[in-house]
Amino acid sequence: MRAARVGGGVARGYNRHVSTKGGQEPSVAARTPPPARVLLVTGMSGAGRSTALKILEDLGYESFDNFPAALVPALIESAAADGPAIAVGADARTRGFTAAATMLDGLAEMVSRTGRELRVLFIDCDDDRLERRYIETRRPHPLAGDRPIMDGIRRERQMLAALRDRADLVIDTSALNAVQLKRLLAGHFGLGGGGVRIFVTSFAFRHGLPREADLVFDVRFLENPHYVETLRGLTGADRAVGVHIEKDAEFGRFFERLWLLLEPLLPLYESSGRTYLTIAFGCTGGRHRSVYAAERLAQRLLAAGWRTELAHRDLPSSPAGTAASPSAIAVVPD
């Protein structure tokens, strides 16, 4: 089982997310309610596992944390008939967790008997960031003992390597705040059903790729509005910048081919049971070309009836409603 890794990168200056919902006829996947689920939430100590459990509880999960590993199967069996979803937290501090891989095998077999599906979520974080968190909170690492914090982190990472490899999803919280973590968890593990939700974002390559992105498109081949004095201080959400980019013949060819790729691909993601997809556009500064491309795609997705969220990672915060604003879309006729 290969895990998907999301999160991390430089995630500052997000606009407020604009949720949109179109009117297309729901697909079979969209009409099918999510299956009853047991979600095992594990990961590196200090990476945000407890925060993730609280978010999942807000999303409707019945959450349990740090039960002895030997009692977890009985706990799930007793709760199986009650709620639609159960989240169980376990990490290096959990009694009996040293045999985590063996525990996972037994847990999977037991969960299948209850008619539920077992998913494994691994919450991760860069080692340096973990060390900084422990230093700032003045808390000892559970595996460090009298050794340096980094020794405990490395020991834990080695202990959890096999479990991480078997995770269905790895979320890296190195540069995520609680709001962004909630968006990811709601997208991947929300209980509302409704088919795939699409998150479109722009970013600056100088700040690194967004780790949560499933599909990344580089639009640095387009003419850069930064070198036009009257456009330099504007963004891709401004109409004047949109007009300028649309006049570049390469943009029209790129965008139409992009849609020819996505139009048949998105239903396939949905029919396979995927609930969340992140599409990212990058340019040098994350201000003009990538912003406009993200805005255009969000509008196209909305018009096609897909549930769509939009944010611009490396733009300063702006008032609600500026993202995906129809006035920013300046289609130039042939």
Task: Identify the domain containing residue 219 by its residue range.
Answer: 197-328
- pLDDT of residue 33 exceeding 90, the answer is no
Q: Flag whether 10 is in a domain.
A: no
**Confidence bin at 182 (pLDDT 50/70/90):** confident
Q: Which of 181, 262, 159 is nearest to 11 (CA)?
A: 181
Confidence of residue 154 (pLDDT cuts 50, 70, 90): very high
The reply to whether 167 and 213 lie within a common domain is: no
pLDDT number for residue 18 = 36
pLDDT band for position 86 (cuts 50, 70, 90):
confident
Residues in the chain: 334
Residues 125, 66 share a domain: yes
Per-residue pLDDT of 281-305, as tens digits, reads 999 999 999 999 999 999 999 999 8
Q: Positive or negative, the Cα torsion across 131, 132, 133, 138?
A: positive
- Asked if 17 and 177 count as a contact pair (C-beta separation under 8 A), the reply is no
125 in any annotated domain? yes
Domain identity same for 202 and 174: no
Residue 142 lies in a domain: yes
87: domain CATH number is: 3.40.50.300
Burial class (CB in 10 A: 0-12, 13-18, 19+), 111: buried
What strands lie across the sheet with 215-218, from one edge to the other? 215-218, 276-283, 197-204, 307-312
Q: Which stretches does DSSP call E strand in the chain?
A: 4-7, 37-43, 62-65, 85-89, 117-124, 169-172, 197-204, 215-218, 276-283, 307-312
Q: Are residues 67 and 98 in the same domain?
A: yes
